[in-house]
Structure 1
Amino acid sequence: MSPEKIYLDNNATTRMDDRVLQAMIPFFTTYYENAGSSHLSGLTVQEYVEEAAWNVAELTGGKPEEYIFTSGATEAVNLAVSGLDHSKRKHIVTVSTEHKAVLDTCRNLENNGYSLSIVNVGENGLVNPEILKEAITDETLVVCVMLVNNETGIIQDIRQISSIAHEKGALFLCDATQAVGKIPVDVSDLGIDLMPFSAHKFYGPKGSGALYVSREAKIKLHPQILGGGQQRNRRSGTLNVPGIIGLGKACEIAKLEMQADATRIRDLRDTLERELLSVSGAFLNGCPKHRLHTTANICFPGVNAEQMITRLQHISVSNGSACSSVTSRPSHVLKAMGLSDEEALSSIRFSLGKFNTGSDIRQASAKVRELVEKLRA
């Protein structure tokens, strides 16, 4: 009998909540109509879509009409950055530890004649606000800084950063993919103009996400997908109604249960860390205080992370972003924080979720400790 899998890679994706799945099923079978159709059945489906938008807005602090439904955060990032009106300002500022979706989209614009400034972080993974301020000019169109880092869990001071961006007349884009549904996020309170996120990071379906676009900021956004003019001509294509319903349900559940989940997950994460940081030479990557409760990124000097991951077998962990884990190159996030290639390649990300148990943590920590000794030997 094969051992039951232990999943500690929740920053890559999460298991869908059964209640989300049950909410979605009728929209494959009973309410299958196109939400853009003008007949009664189509209008009924559209009402469900609007209810989902209301749940998304309730969780994240915006208004329902300020959200564009997308296939996920990557598409939302591309729409947000590439879709801005670049006719007056042609400078972009971002941070070296951003997700590749942001960095590659910004670099693509740089290759097409725009100027790009990439601000470094400190060893703790945090952005120095003074250095960020120096990078922003009167030509800066948008400043892109993520709320929670996907590899280290580091939480940036977004309220301060958005204020700095707005002082210079720039827009502020905040990738909140690892934050929404896990910690309180209020776009108005944080001063966010554009915010991409995905459902599958907080127990919703893959292939479903959204982009928040502040109405107050009066943003002119050019669509990147043309066609039928859906979603107020901002993103064409037949709506993925089951995915939207799933996103809305995940938001509804998170609004009610997020705080209690966070307390329990933090306790499990702290237990895991105590066990693993007792390993000789092991150290935590990033600031221990300003960090998401789901995440522990730990370096085990002298251990090859890829070998560790393979030998863990039924225990799922990661050595970086799921979007770039097919490569054996050291994490750009850890390198930006000052780690050597060897240290970065010896680091493992453990990311917990609400379905993890104390038994998961005990088994995983024991197996990791055992493997560290074997691999070092």
Structure 2
Amino acid sequence: MTTPTALYLDHAATAPLAPGVFEAMQHALVETEANPASSHAPGRVAAAQIDAAARSLAALIGAAPESIVWTSGATESINLALKGVAEFAGGAPHIVSVVTEHRATLDVLTWLEKHGARVTRLGVDGDGRLDLDALAAAIADDTALVSVMHVNNETGVIQDIAAIGALCAARGVALHVDAAQSLGRLAIDVEAMNIALLSMSAHKIGGPKGIGALYVRRRPRVGLAAQIQGGGQQGGYRSGTLATHQIAGFGAAAVHVSATREVEQTRLHDLRERLWARAARLEGVIRNGLPQTTAAAFLSVSVQAVHGDALLLGLTEGAPALAVSSGAACSAAKGQSSYVLRAMGRSPREAGASIRFSLGADTDAAVIDAAAERFVAEVTRLRALAAAA
């Protein structure tokens, strides 16, 4: 089956395989079919491949390799972090989070509330940022966990995790960070940032789908109850036979982004600003998030005087087609406009007529210029149709 041709600007949803990832996975599949938990020689070969991947991923976040717990992706990692802390704490634990978190976090928080937890959801300002004073006021004596997304999946807005971590450390509260969108894009040091738990996903950085990880701080140890019982693998945190080839692919992706991150993010920043300069020539195009506090790969815009569904359909089905997402990606199935943008003060109509461009390794100036031209033409066409109606 041939993949339809489109200008791919949806790297926040998933990134193409990074160089070396396919080869690492192929090598892991061919090298040994043994179970990495087996004590014989072939099993030790598989285990060594997993250990190498753990070292590569741990180096990317400033952690010890033994603190890495492999999961199926960031969603499972978030479930393990939030439910695991709440269950270990017992009673009716208090958790503090943010209204603009990914659904993977928000839905778990709702589930925890139904099972006795007390949850405080903090708002954000017009630029999508959490107020530290509000966080400090929300932390109580029974607060078991603070959970904050590092880079927002819709807007790319960056939360000040170092400051949040310092506040949590001073209050003796564990901090969980959703790093699905920041891993490989921003510098992360779990020790310096006082992060107790960090959720990660391979396919966001050019690794394979279906594999993720949770960093679990060892000193001081985080109280965490396992959510999958079975053979007791990974110190009992997450039972099940490990997928050696997927983990090897994650490790290879971590090596690649570690070597290229600084140069690549500077390049993407320049391309993003090039795209914005062209899109901003249209009146009524609003940028969501400040450029200096938004990850370089992201440009989220709300467009006035157009219908959101028509805009997204026109861009993704026109010629050339753009592989982009709506700012309401997490809410579209429920027929709602983006809760993230509404929390930032956008009207429901503006939140509904929003587009997320997310750039990556295969984005160049030619792609940016073609996408900008296509965006301007489509907005102009839709506005002309609306005016004639």
TM range (shorter): over 0.9
Give the C-alpha shift of residue 289 in structure 1: 1.5
Alignment-mate amino acid for residue 361 of structure 2: K
Conservation of the 8 A alpha-carbon contact between 1:199 and 1:209: yes
Matches of 1:285 and 1:181 in 2, distance apart? Answer: 22
Paired residue for 1:64?
Answer: 65
Distance of 2:17 and 2:331 partners within structure 1: 23
Match of 1:90 in 2: 93
Moved more, 29-38 or 348-357: 29-38
Match of 1:338 in 2: 345
Distance 1:155 1:329 in 2: 24
2:132 paired with 1:125: no
Percent identity over paired residues: 38
Q: Counterparts in 2 of 1:278-293, with a 5 A limit?
A: 278-293=281-296
Further displaced range: 65-74 or 287-296: 287-296
1:154 to 147, 154, 157: 157
Structure 1 residue 304, shift from structure 2 partner: 2.2
2:89 alignment partner, SS class: coil
Partner of 1:235: 238
Please say which of residues 362-371 and 10-19 is displaced more in the overlay. Answer: 10-19
Once the two structures are superposed, residues 306-342 of structure 1 have per-residue CA deviations (whole angstroms, 9 ceiling, x without a partner) of: 2222222221111136555444311111111111110
Q: Is the 8 A contact 1:12 1:322 kept in 2?
A: no
**Local SS of the residue matching 1:210:** strand
Instruction: Tell me the equivalent position of 1:212.
Output: 215
Given the two structures, how large is their TM-score scaled by the length of structure 2?
A: 0.94
Q: How many residues align?
A: 377
- Equivalent residue letter for 1:308: L
Partner residue, 1:145: 148
In the aligned structure 2, how far is the partner of 1:240 from the partner of 1:372?
45
| 1:217 Cα offset (Å) | 2.6
Say if 1:73 and 1:177, in contact at 8 Å, map to a contact too. yes
Q: CA shift at 1:26, angstroms?
A: 2.0
**Is structure 2 residue 77 aligned with structure 1 residue 76?**
yes
How far is 1:88 from its partner?
6.1
Gaps of 5+ in 1: none
Q: How large is the RMSD of aligned CA atoms in angstroms? A: 1.6
TM-score normalized by structure 1?
A: 0.97
The 1:141/1:354 distance shift into structure 2, 3 A limit, reads same
What is residue 305 of structure 2 aligned with on the other side? Answer: 302
Match of residue 358, structure 2, among 312, 335, 351? 351
SS at match of 1:222: coil
1:13 equivalenced with 2:20 (yes/no): no
* Residue 30 of structure 2: aligned partner: 29
The AA in structure 1 aligned to 2:20 is R
The Cα of 1:352 is off from its aligned counterpart by 0.4
Alpha-carbon offset, residue 348 of structure 1: 0.7
Partner residue of 1:224 out of 204, 210, 227 = 227
One-letter identity of the residue aligned with 1:362: D
C-alpha distance after superposition, 1:246-275 (max 9, x if no partner) = 111111111111111111111111100100
Residue aligned with 1:23, SS: helix
Candidates 188, 191, 194, aligned match of 2:191: 188
> What is the CA distance between 1:169 and its match in structure 2?
2.0
Preserved contact between residue 208 and residue 249 of structure 2 (Cα < 8 Å): yes
Q: Please tell me whether residue 373 in structure 1 is matched to residue 380 in structure 2.
A: yes
Asked if 1 retains the 8 angstrom alpha-carbon contact of 2:149 and 2:177, the reply is: yes
Residue 130 of structure 1 and its aligned partner are, at CA, apart by 0.5
Taking structure 1 as reference, are residues 3 and 233 closer, same or farther at Cα in structure 2, changes over 3 Å only? closer
State the SS of the aligned residue for 2:175: strand
Which of 196, 201, 204 is 1:201 aligned to? Answer: 204
Contact 2:330 / 2:338 at 8 angstroms: preserved in 1? no
What are the superposed Cα offsets for residues 81-131 of structure 1, whole Å, 9 maximum, x if unpaired?
A: 101112266101000111111111111111111111000000110011001
Q: Which residue identity is paired with 2:36?
A: A
What amino acid is the match of 1:28?
Answer: L
After alignment, is 85-94 or 150-159 more displaced?
Answer: 85-94
- Contact 1:83–1:224 (CA<8 Å) still a contact in 2? yes
What residue number does 1:168 align with? 171
1:341-369: CA deviations, max 9, x gaps? 10101111110001111111111100110
SS at match of 1:145: strand
Query: C-alpha separation between the residues in 2 aligned to 1:47 and 1:210?
Result: 17
Distance 1:288 1:375 in 2: 27
